[in-house]
A and B are shown apart, each in its own frame.
Chain A
Amino acid sequence: MRNIDLTKPNRQAPKGLVLILAMSIQKLIRALWPMLLIYFWKNDQFVEYQTIINVGIIVIILLLSIHAVLYYLNFKFYVDKDHFILRKGYLRKQELNIPLDRIQSVNYKANVLQRLLKVVSLEIDTAGSVKKELKILALELDYADTLKNALSTSVNVKETEDVNQDVPIKDEQAEKLLKIEIGELVKIGLLQNHLQMALLILAFGWQFYNELADSFKEEISQVSGQVNEQILQSSLIVLIFMGLLFFGISILASVIKIIVKFFDFEFSKTESSFQMQAGLLNRKNMIIPFKKIQELSWGTNPLKKAFSLFSIKIKQANSQVDKKKSLMEIPGCGNENLNQLKEVIFGEDEFLRDRKYKISGKFFWRVLFIMGCLPILISSPLYIYDVVHYIVPILWFGFSTFASWLAVKKRYFQISENQLIISKGMFGQDWKQLEIYKIQVVDFRQSIFQKSSGLAGIQIYTASGSTSIPFINENLAKELHKFLVYKIQSTEKSWM
């Protein structure tokens, strides 16, 4: 622990200079990478301009260094009258002012460079739709600890001294709930939704191809000519092999993604919060106090179901900008761990005796229309001239009919005295559980189509997102609306 005087403006660690410079160079490279690629690829064409380019690079680095120094000097933070104040910017000065009691959580992270420099970046999350970037790039670890405590202490003034104590990365009092070894991670990676990953790779590959296509027109037309010929000459077996190869790459990518994100995953609980740390390149350390949890969601897919594995998300109040940052994820765990979590968050299971309210089968038509009919209608000009292509929409229609049927089957809700569970899914299934008093706003909604068949829906908004219960009986929806509003109003408990 270090003593810091937060009443006076503080600067980040001087090592931050290096980081600011590195970040701006990284940003520049990210913006210019297609150009750089062309430069290195077709080096010979730029020989005459070599001096200009060299001078340009030096000037750019010089400007970036000046920017780094100015940015560093003008970046200050302090606490004044229960407000955390962060000033930054030299051309456009910015002052961010956050009441301490609005601070949701304080997290720190370290990327490779930050770990080399032995500093961490500190991020402060707030609730509400405030689009403010509260991030301090470089702080010495002990400094960050002190600051984090200073900020979270004032957040939890009402709580006991427990919170005041040091909450470092390794807490002695923390009870370890779950640790995922590398072998288990590989298994979880293999059980991911590979279709999603395949689509991601396709989309990324397509974008990559487009960005390069313009600069390498000739090369591409040559190569693609050859490729076309080869594809035409090659047999079905080769095509199948290529498909399998692509699928293999997708699976590999899923596994790598899981390992990079969740390497050496550790999940533990203290008196008042959950703690998690994980990551191979970026080690992420995160704390969520119990009372800031808005919702617990858990899900499974057909692959995971076979091994009775669930992926879990613990959601806390978030600012709309960083939905992902405020999320605590467990990539895979068994039923036992899930029940343990539920007990910590919600106490005793209130749903043992409560029945499941299914939704109306009419929901089938809405899903079928949005998922099946709309894409087919929109893409109709593509296959209208070519009879062979009819097979695609027909297959898609069959597929979405099945999926819509599953969507009706898996959607239900359960309600107890204080809690709500909502289930939805198609091939997989996702559940959400939340305390009713954490709900912010309730919507009753009814389309003219629903009105004639006496159906309606309920939409629920919490500080961590929204959920809907569509296509239930109109009277049930009205009762539910009324009950939820009553529950929100009759509670003395604060939602965070």
Chain B
Amino acid sequence: MIEKLEFENKEIDIEELPKLEDLKFNRVEKNYLLVLLLRIIIFGLIFNGIGAFFYFTKTMGIPSEVIQYILLAINSLFALRVILTILSFKIRAYAIRERDISYQRGLIVFKQTTVSVNRMQHVELTQSLLMKLFNLSTVKIYTAGGSQSDISIAGINKEKGEEIKDLLSEKLSQHA
């Protein structure tokens, strides 16, 4: 269906533009995988706990077989989630250039988002309770493109996160 591969473009030679795929991407901290897995395990425990409650107390009279099947289904979903999280973890990476930041993630649907410094609204550093345990943080970058296009890079070392945030904030104020 595509008649011609190369990109028709005048004046600027596209080959000379810095290539995004050649960017040196930094992986997020390995500890963050633990945070992600812990999160899934905690949710798993909560669901199994609820299931066990109905199984043993017979509150609402749900047949125990039904509960077994539901738990089996839920737990296999959790198992799938764990596998996907581990497999997709090595894809999570970010790259900072002078004028933009790129973030990539996703195994089933791979996504690489690029936000230019001159389009950033503000930058934020957050830390959830679990992440605090591992000294990790999330860098959130807001644009006027709406919440779908805002990127949040989770699993960056706290000190490094502060550094990135300061760096971007500084670049941002130069543009404003």
Contact = CB atoms under 8 A, between A and B. Distances in A.
Given A355-B8, A479-B7, A441 B149 contact: yes
A440 B143 contact: yes
Interface in B121-140: 121
A441 B20 contact: no
B147 interface: yes
A317 interface: yes
B26 to A, nearest CB: 18
B99 to A, nearest CB: 5
A357 B142 CA distance: 31
B145 A446 contact: no
B110 A446 contact: yes
A358 B109 CA distance: 22
Interface stretch (B9-17, B29-37, B42-50, B58-66): B9-17
Contacts of A15: none
A417 B110 contact: no
Interface string B45-77: 000000000000000000000000000000000
Contact of B110 (A129, A361, A447): A447
A483 B144 contact: no
B115 A129 contact: no
B169 interface: no
B21 A478 contact: yes
Interface in A27-70: none
A442 B117 CA distance: 13
Nearest to A488: B116
A485 B7 contact: no
B14 A128 contact: no
Given A441-B119, A472-B2, A128 B111 contact: no
Nearest to B12: A486
B173 interface: no
Interface stretch (A137-145, A281-289, A461-469): A461-469
A446 B109 contact: yes
A480 interface: yes
B20 A478 contact: yes
A360 interface: yes
Contacts of B17: 482-483, 486
Size category, A interface: 35 or more
A481 interface: yes
Given A354-B8, A441-B145, A447 B108 contact: yes
Contacts of B108: 447-448
B10 A417 contact: yes
A320 interface: yes
Contacts of B112: 443-445, 481
Interface secondary structure of B, over-half rule: loop
A476 B119 contact: no
Interface string A411-441: 0000101000000000000000000000111
Contacts of A73: none
Interface secondary structure of A, over-half rule: mixed
A461 B148 contact: yes
Contact of A462 (B107, B113, B145): B145
A473 to B, nearest CB: 5
Contacts of B9: 415, 417, 483
Contacts of A496: 144
B2 A360 contact: yes
B21 A361 contact: no
Contacts of A485: 20, 100, 114, 116
Nearest to A478: B21
Contact of B142 (A129, A361, A444, A489): A129
A444 B103 CA distance: 10
Contacts of B21: 478
Contacts of B18: 482
Contact of B115 (A320, A441, A445): A441
Given A317-B144, A446-B109, A485-B100, A461 B8 contact: no
Given A448-B108, A466-B149, A488-B116, A441 B7 contact: no
Contact of A358 (B1, B12, B99, B116): B1
Nearest to A479: B7
Given A360-B2, A476-B5, A417 B11 contact: yes
B78 to A, nearest CB: 21
| Residue among B6, B121, B146 facing the most chain A CB atoms (10 A cut-off) | B146
Contacts of B110: 445-448, 451
B3 interface: yes
A290 interface: no
B20 to A, nearest CB: 5
A448 B107 contact: yes
Contacts of A466: 145-146, 148-149
Given A443-B149, A466-B149, A481-B20, A488 B109 contact: no
A297 B116 CA distance: 25
A483 B5 CA distance: 15
A360 B1 contact: yes
Contacts of B6: 479
A359 interface: yes
A485 to B, nearest CB: 5
Interface of A: 127-129, 317, 320, 354-355, 357-361, 415, 417, 439-448, 451, 461-463, 465-466, 472-473, 475-476, 478-483, 485-486, 488-489, 491, 495-496
8 contacts: A360-B1, A415-B9, A445-B111, A473-B5, A476-B7, A479-B7, A481-B112, A482-B14
Closest 4 CB pairs of A and B: A461-B145, A440-B145, A461-B149, A441-B149
